[in-house]
Amino acid sequence: MMTVKPKTAALALAFALSTASSFANQGLGTDFSAQTAPVQGSGPSARFITDSRKATWPDAVVNYYYNPSNQPAGISTDTVLGLIQAAGRKWENVCKVRFNYLGTQSADPDVEASFGTIDRLSVIGWMPLTGDKAGFDGYVSWWFQGNPPSLVDADMVLNTSAGERLASDPKALGALITHEMGHMLAIRHSDVQQSVMFASPYNSYSFQNTLRGDDAAACASLYGPSTFADANRIFNWAEQSFSQFVAPTGVNSLDLSGYHYRFFSQTNSYMAVKDNTLLFLPTGGAVTPLGNVDQILPAAAAAGF
Ligand SMILES: [Zn+2]
**155 C-alpha vs ligand 1 centroid, how far in Å?**
13
User: Where, residue-wise, is CATH 3.40.390 in the chain?
Assistant: 6-211
Predicted confidence at residue 7, as pLDDT, reads 31
List the chain residues with pLDDT less than 50: 1-25, 32-45
**What's the gap in Å between 18 CA and the centre of ligand 1?**
10
Q: How far is CA 140 from the centre of its chain?
A: 12
pTM (two decimals): 0.84
Q: How far is the CA of 136 from the centre of ligand 1 (A)?
A: 10
Say how many Å lie between the CA of residue 256 and the centre of ligand 1. Answer: 34
Q: What ranges in 242-305 are assigned the alpha helix state H? A: 293-302
Cβ–Cβ under 8 Å, residues 232 and 93: yes
Neighbours of 138 (CB within 10 A): 23
Look at residue 30 in the predicted model and tell me its pLDDT: 60
What does the alpha-carbon distance between residue 231 and residue 278 come to, in Å, rounded to a whole number?
8
Cβ contact 132:116 at 8 Å:
no
Report the pLDDT value the prediction gives residue 45, as an integer from 0 to 100: 42
Distance 188 CA to ligand 1 centre (A): 7
CB of 280 closer than 8 Å to CB of 217: no
Structure confidence at residue 285 (pLDDT): 87
Distance 17 CA to ligand 1 centre (A): 9
pLDDT at site 40 = 32
- Give the model confidence (pLDDT) of 164-216 as tens digits: 999 999 999 999 999 999 999 999 999 888 899 998 888 999 999 999 999 99
CA of 53 to the centre of ligand 1 (A): 18
- Tell me where in the chain the CATH 3.30.1120 domain(s) lie: 229-302
Using the mean position of ligand 1's atoms as its centre, give its distance from the Cα of residue 187 in Å.
Answer: 9
- Reply yes or no: is the peptide bond before residue 201 cis, omega within 30 of 0: yes
| Rounded Cα distance, 150 and 120, in Å | 12
Region 6-211: CATH code: 3.40.390
Give distance in angstroms: CA of 152 to centre of ligand 1: 20
How far is 180 from 141, CA to CA, in rounded Å? 10
Ligand 1 centre to CA of 73 (Å) is: 25
Torsion angle (degrees, nearest 10) of CA 112, 115, 117, 118? 70
Q: Is the peptide bond before 225 cis (omega within 30 degrees of 0)?
A: no
Phi/psi at 116 (5° precision): -70, -15
Q: How far is the CA of 180 from the centre of ligand 1 (A)?
A: 6
The domain defined by 229-302 folds into: Arylsulfatase, C-terminal domain (3.30.1120)
> Near ion ligand 1, which residues have CB within 5 Å?
31, 33, 199
| 262, 235 Cβ separation under 8 angstroms | yes
Spatial distance between the Cα atoms of 191 and 46, rounded to a whole number of angstroms: 5
Residues of the chain above pLDDT 70, percent? 85
Alpha carbons 87 and 291: distance in angstroms, whole number: 28
